[in-house]
């Protein structure tokens, strides 16, 4: 008997592909029954993944495919949600769980597009591409225990996934973990530039900065995520690290700048939500 599609991914861009890979790696597709990817203009990477795992990529869902869908994951750009969603809402069963990862698109807005049905709004981040993502999600009022467990299973395939019950939390989550990888990349970039200013060869400075950020990140993870303790461990009083910390932790330094940056990102997320 031919297996029927039960899970659809709409949008096979950076985030959509990261999620699809995680579902495949965790054997969720076999459990779900099938995955169908919808993208009118799939990238080479999307096509390769589909070919390797014998997954169909179609430009749009056909009525008979959508009628069987248990879950649909929306990973298109936020501005496309109304257009893409309205077309889908007409053909999806009212029981299909919609999981949106679109930044700033509120549950209220999703409800406006998709009507009354199980809805989940999630905020993943890019390390999902290597199974090390951090995702927080919130479920809409008509979303039962089964649908929330389904969302938890799909989202935790790419790393940690936690449910929260207050939607406004997602603005802070977006500012901390959604946008967070960019802050860490900037840290590596700035560290390399500073190394060059101290006389290092640029290629060596870049390698050192990247390995330092990656190695320190791994250490943090393996040692139970207690950054203040680890920082204290590597900072001897009166030593070289302490000299740097005096600058970074002083007035207007790193902690204060991070506070302002995260606040700015959270306000932007809230604005996008208000506009959506
Ligand atoms: N990237 C991140 O770090 C991140 C983090 C958290 C949340 N998100 C959210 O994830 C979503 C996707 O982001 P992304 O970075 O993956 O963007 P992206 O790389 O641009 O991916 C979106 C994909 O959707 C495709 N698409 C366009 N119209 C479509 C349609 N009608 N039906 C199906 N697919 C369609 C796009 O094709 P074309 O390129 O041909 O238009 C593209 O392949 C966004 O809503 C974003 O807010 C992203």
pTM of the model: 0.92
Q: Please check whether residues 133 and 266 belong to one and the same domain.
A: no
Write the DSSP string, 83-120.
HHHHHHHHHS-TT-EEEE--TT--HHHHHHHH-SS-EE
Residue ranges making up the domain that contains 81: 7-169
Is the Cβ–Cβ distance between 109 and 272 less than 8 Å? no
Q: Distance of CA 30 to CAs 90, 92, 265, Å?
A: 27, 22, 38
Work out the mean pLDDT of the chain and round it to a whole number.
93
Q: What is the C-alpha separation between 133 and 75, in angstroms, rounded?
A: 15
Q: Please check whether residues 187 and 218 belong to one and the same domain.
A: yes
Whether ligand 1 lies within 6 angstroms of the CB of 178 is answered as yes
Q: What is the pLDDT of residues 88-109, one digit of tens each?
A: 999 999 999 999 999 989 999 9
Q: What is the pLDDT of residues 206-219, one digit of tens each?
A: 999 999 999 999 99
Judged by DSSP in three states, 58 sits in: strand
What's 49's domain CATH number?
3.40.50.720
Q: What is the C-alpha separation between 66 and 90, in angstroms, rounded?
A: 10
Q: What is the pLDDT of residues 39-73, one digit of tens each?
A: 999 999 999 999 999 999 999 998 888 888 999 99
Residue 2, in any domain of the structure = no
Q: Please check whether residues 206 and 159 belong to one and the same domain.
A: no
Residue 247, in any domain of the structure = yes
Domain end marker among 125, 152, 169: 169
Q: Please check whether residues 145 and 215 belong to one and the same domain.
A: no
Domain end marker among 169, 195, 210: 169
CA 102 – ligand 1 centroid, Å: 8
The partner residues of 158 in beta bridges, in order of sequence, read none
| Mean pLDDT within 25-43 | 88
Residue 1, in any domain of the structure = no
Whether ligand 1 lies within 6 angstroms of the CB of 36 is answered as no
Is pLDDT larger for residue 34 or for residue 125? 125
Structure tokens at 211: 């390995």
Domain end marker among 119, 139, 169: 169
Short-list 161, 8, 149, CA closest to 70: 8
Q: What is the C-alpha separation between 122 and 103, in angstroms, rounded?
A: 8
| Mean pLDDT within 236-256 | 95
pLDDT given at position 32: 63
Please, which pLDDT band fits residue 276 given cuts at 50, 70 and 90?
Answer: low
Q: Please check whether residues 150 and 122 belong to one and the same domain.
A: yes
Whether ligand 1 lies within 6 angstroms of the CB of 177 is answered as no
Task: Give percent above pLDDT 70 in the chain.
Answer: 97
Number of domains in the chain: 2
What's 252's domain CATH number?
1.10.3730.10
């Amino acid at each position: 008997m031919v297996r029927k599609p039960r899970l659809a991914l709409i949008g096979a861009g950076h985030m959509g592909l990261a999620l699809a890979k995680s579902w495949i790696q965790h054997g969720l597709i076999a459990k779900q029954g099938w995955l169908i990817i919808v993208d009118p203009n799939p990238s080479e990477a999307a096509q390769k993944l589909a070919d390797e795992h014998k997954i169909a990529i179609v430009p749009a869902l056909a009525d008979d495919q959508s009628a069987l869908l248990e879950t649909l994951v929306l990973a298109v750009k936020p501005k496309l949600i109304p257009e893409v969603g309205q077309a889908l809402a007409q053909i999806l069963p009212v029981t299909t769980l919609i999981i949106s990862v679109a930044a700033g698109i509120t549950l209220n807005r999703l409800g406006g597009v998709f009507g009354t049905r199980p809805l989940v709004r999630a905020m993943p981040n890019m390390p999902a591409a290597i199974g090390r993502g951090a995702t927080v999600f919130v479920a809409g009022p008509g979303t039962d225990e089964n649908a929330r467990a389904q969302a938890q299973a799909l989202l935790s395939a790419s790393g940690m996934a936690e449910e929260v019950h207050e939607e406004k939390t997602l603005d802070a989550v977006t500012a901390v973990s959604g946008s967070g990888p960019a802050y860490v990349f900037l840290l590596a970039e700035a560290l390399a530039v500073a190394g060059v200013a101290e006389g290092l060869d640029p290629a060596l400075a870049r390698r050192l900065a990247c390995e330092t950020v990656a190695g320190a990140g791994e250490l943090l993870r393996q040692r139970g995520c207690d950054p203040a303790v680890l920082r204290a461990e590597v900072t001897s009083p009166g030593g070289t690290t302490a000299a740097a910390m005096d600058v970074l932790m002083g007035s207007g330094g790193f902690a204060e700048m991070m506070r302002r940056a995260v606040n700015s990102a959270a306000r932007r997320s809230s604005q996008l939500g208000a506009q959506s």
